[in-house]
Structure 1
Amino acid sequence: MLGAIGLDEGQESAYRVLVALGAADVPDLAHRLNLPVPQTERAVRHLERHGLAAQSSARPGRWVAAPPGVALEALLTRQRRELEQAERAAALLAQEYRARAAEPQVHDLVEVVQGASAVAHRFHQVRLGAQKEVCVLVSGRQQGATGTDDEAGERARVRGVAHRVVIEREALTLPGGIREASSALARGEQVRVTGHVPTRLVIADRTLAMVPLTAGGPEPAALVVHASGLLESLTGLFEAVWRESLPLRLGAAGTAEESDGCPDATDLEILSLLLAGMTDASVAKHLELGLRTVQRRVKGLMERSGVTTRLQLGWHAYERGWVAR
């Protein structure tokens, strides 16, 4: 918990024991922490440098903890000051970067990123740097059904960044695919489904995009595209795929809707997945329902709608507002 002020696990544990005991010598601390004496000695010396511990003047060799209310507040104040300085420096650098990017050189419009860790790191940079909107195309072969993760998605939601995500249908059949899509919807992301996406893609604020350069292999690579005609083309590609995709709706019904005669949450999940192109068997598997249960619910929806075919059911669901167009 104190890692933010520069303490590792062993140093924090040593400080906590000193606070609990009031004073202790190094061998006693090492025994209580189940650590070697030299490692404990280094931890205590680190606490001393940070003003969290001091040697007892009355009993040489013993260490006492500095009052947490005073010592920790001093460290937190210093951390806040350093963070404010870093924020000001970042703002100046961003201003300088925008000024330089106003007239970019041709060779600066595209970056090549190589290596799995470098590609993953740059991907998160692009997403977390967005201020207004992130657009994502997700293929059925990439890890993560929405191309995002819960923590990054939640941070984006808090900052008010909108997300539009198009998922290739195959991605929903991957382990955890439905769960990830449901989490994205719960965060307020707009999610659509299509049979095929031409490429994986992420676009941030229509000013930066990232696409894979290699299909796989031991050394993955990606292109980071800055504002240019190429970026405009990639944005147009996303918009075209978005227009042709079907909205995904999972568990959106509430008790009030049910009392008005609308399908319940499970019915709407089944209907949404069927409209996304999944089979009865796939829907049953991913919702952990029996195949006959799915088929019975679909039949019930058809009877409620007064239709005789699933095509008619889809049209009726749109007309009644059960699903978005």
Structure 2
Amino acid sequence: MEIVGISAFDERIYRSVLACPGITVQELVRRSGESSGRIQSSLSRLRVKGLVSRLWGRSPRWTATNPGTAIRALVRDMQSELDLLTDTADELEAAFRDVGTDPAGGDQIEVLAGPEEQARWYVRLQQEAKEEVLTFDRPPYVLDYHNPLQTDLLRNGVRYRTLYVPEAFDHPGALDEVGSLIRAGEEARILPWLPFKMALVDRSRAVMPLHMEPPLTRGVLIRGSTMVVALVELFERLWREALPVRPELWSHGVPEPQVEPDPGAGLSVEDRRLLALLAAGLKDDAIARQLGTSPRSLRRRLRHLLDELNAETRFQAGAQASRRGLV
């Protein structure tokens, strides 16, 4: 009951009164082992909260009021106080924005409270994008993974370049979703690791969480800053190191591409897709989910691929596949 301002000690006294209507202070002293003065103080606080009432007589006794009625009244009072606090927060935020904004359009870094506010800014920055959106895509995800704006923006000429980590494809259907985005125009690459999540728009504004351990309670919006320049440079460096994602290998339902005759040309589209997923660093369980098969069946297919490519390890299979242009 501490959430409504009742201490643990006062709650213990209240429960004693609730269990024994008409109990005296002396009886409470004997039951609790506490001093009479401390018991009296606790009963006074509970009385102010509306949780107990005093029965007058030769020997004053105490009884509990209806708990549901009393506690709901405390909750209503607390809600009123929270509403007032929220109004105050809105006023202070407005003052903060007025003071923190440089009218000349200079540097600005703004802390965003909570994942919902970060998501709102992510949507807003995309809506305002004119040329390009650069993204680091990695878990943890706290909101809907789907980005409904991207296809329309790609159609309107906004360039999307996204760097993924293998864990971004752990949830079912992720590969097909990314494959459809790539066919719509997204340029996608993959790395074994990314330092953080980020969305960077038109090389001028960025939104990102302040830390990567859930819950992602706070983020930051960066505008017109040398930090944005540094983030762009980091993105470009990692982009050059990343492995391109080929849509024909990362999603179902796409005809097999025409390739030059090759010792590996006998491999099916699904085999080539499996090689691409292995080269990207996805684990067996994640690959099995994306391909709709069991880990055991996946291991049998992998053994077949290793034999087909004359490779002893996954690394050798990836090297052979890359050399032959299969991934």
- Interval containing the TM-score (normalised by the shorter chain): 0.5 to 0.7
In the alignment, is residue 241 of structure 1 matched against residue 238 of structure 2? yes
In the alignment, is residue 155 of structure 1 matched against residue 152 of structure 2? yes
1:289 corresponds in structure 2 to 293
Higher relative contact order (CA 8 A, sep 6+): 2
Contact kept? 2:196, 2:212, Cα under 8 Å: no
Measured in 2, the distance between the counterparts of 1:313 and 1:102 equals 57
Q: Pick from 202, 213, 219 the counterpart of residue 199 of structure 2.
A: 202
Contact kept? 1:114, 1:222, Cα under 8 Å: yes
Measured in 2, the distance between the counterparts of 1:272 and 1:319 equals 13
Return closer, same or farther for 1:218/1:135 CA change in 2, 3 Å cut-off: closer
Measured in 1, the distance between the counterparts of 2:266 and 2:161 equals 27
Comparing 275-284 with 155-164, which one deviates more in the overlay? 275-284
CA deviation after TM superposition for structure 1 residue 190, in Å: 1.9
Contact kept? 2:209, 2:216, Cα under 8 Å: no
Return closer, same or farther for 1:130/1:296 CA change in 2, 3 Å cut-off: same
2:319 corresponds in structure 1 to 315
Measured in 2, the distance between the counterparts of 1:284 and 1:226 equals 42
TM-score by length of 1: 0.58
Contact kept? 2:189, 2:245, Cα under 8 Å: yes
Contact kept? 1:119, 1:220, Cα under 8 Å: no
Return closer, same or farther for 1:232/1:274 CA change in 2, 3 Å cut-off: same
Contact kept? 2:311, 2:317, Cα under 8 Å: yes
Unpaired segments ≥5 residues, structure 2: 1-100
Return closer, same or farther for 1:216/1:292 CA change in 2, 3 Å cut-off: closer
What do the CA deviations read for 1:164-183 (whole angstroms, capped 9, x no partner)?
A: 11122222213443343333
CA deviation after TM superposition for structure 1 residue 148, in Å: 5.4
Return closer, same or farther for 1:117/1:302 CA change in 2, 3 Å cut-off: closer
Return closer, same or farther for 1:143/1:276 CA change in 2, 3 Å cut-off: farther
Measured in 2, the distance between the counterparts of 1:218 and 1:292 equals 35
Measured in 2, the distance between the counterparts of 1:155 and 1:221 equals 29
Return closer, same or farther for 1:144/1:221 CA change in 2, 3 Å cut-off: closer
The letter of the residue matching 1:226 is: R
Unpaired segments ≥5 residues, structure 1: 1-99
The letter of the residue matching 1:120 is: A
Root mean square deviation, CA, Å: 3.2
CA deviation after TM superposition for structure 1 residue 218, in Å: 7.5
1:81 corresponds in structure 2 to none
The number of residue pairs the alignment matches comes to 220
Contact kept? 1:250, 1:272, Cα under 8 Å: no
Measured in 2, the distance between the counterparts of 1:199 and 1:278 equals 19
Measured in 1, the distance between the counterparts of 2:146 and 2:292 equals 24
Q: Pick from 270, 273, 279 the counterpart of residue 274 of structure 2.
A: 270
Measured in 2, the distance between the counterparts of 1:312 and 1:215 equals 33
Structure 1 residue matching 2:258: 3-state secondary structure: helix
CA deviation after TM superposition for structure 1 residue 120, in Å: 1.6
CA deviation after TM superposition for structure 1 residue 101, in Å: 8.9
In the alignment, is residue 105 of structure 1 matched against residue 109 of structure 2? no
Measured in 2, the distance between the counterparts of 1:171 and 1:277 equals 11
- Aligned-residue sequence identity (percent) comes to 26
Larger Rg: 2
Measured in 2, the distance between the counterparts of 1:215 and 1:305 equals 39
The letter of the residue matching 1:190 is: E
What do the CA deviations read for 1:41-99 (whole angstroms, capped 9, x no partner)?
A: xxxxxxxxxxxxxxxxxxxxxxxxxxxxxxxxxxxxxxxxxxxxxxxxxxxxxxxxxxx
Return closer, same or farther for 1:134/1:296 CA change in 2, 3 Å cut-off: same
2:255 corresponds in structure 1 to 254
User: 1:122-201 counterparts in 2 under 5 A?
Assistant: 122-143=121-142, 149=147, 151-201=148-198
Measured in 1, the distance between the counterparts of 2:112 and 2:268 equals 47
Measured in 2, the distance between the counterparts of 1:144 and 1:278 equals 23
Structure 2 residue matching 1:195: 3-state secondary structure: coil
TM-score by length of 2: 0.58
The letter of the residue matching 1:279 is: K
CA deviation after TM superposition for structure 1 residue 161, in Å: 1.5
What do the CA deviations read for 1:279-304 (whole angstroms, capped 9, x no partner)?
A: 33431122111334433433443344
1:119 corresponds in structure 2 to 118
Measured in 1, the distance between the counterparts of 2:216 and 2:168 equals 23
Measured in 1, the distance between the counterparts of 2:215 and 2:323 equals 50
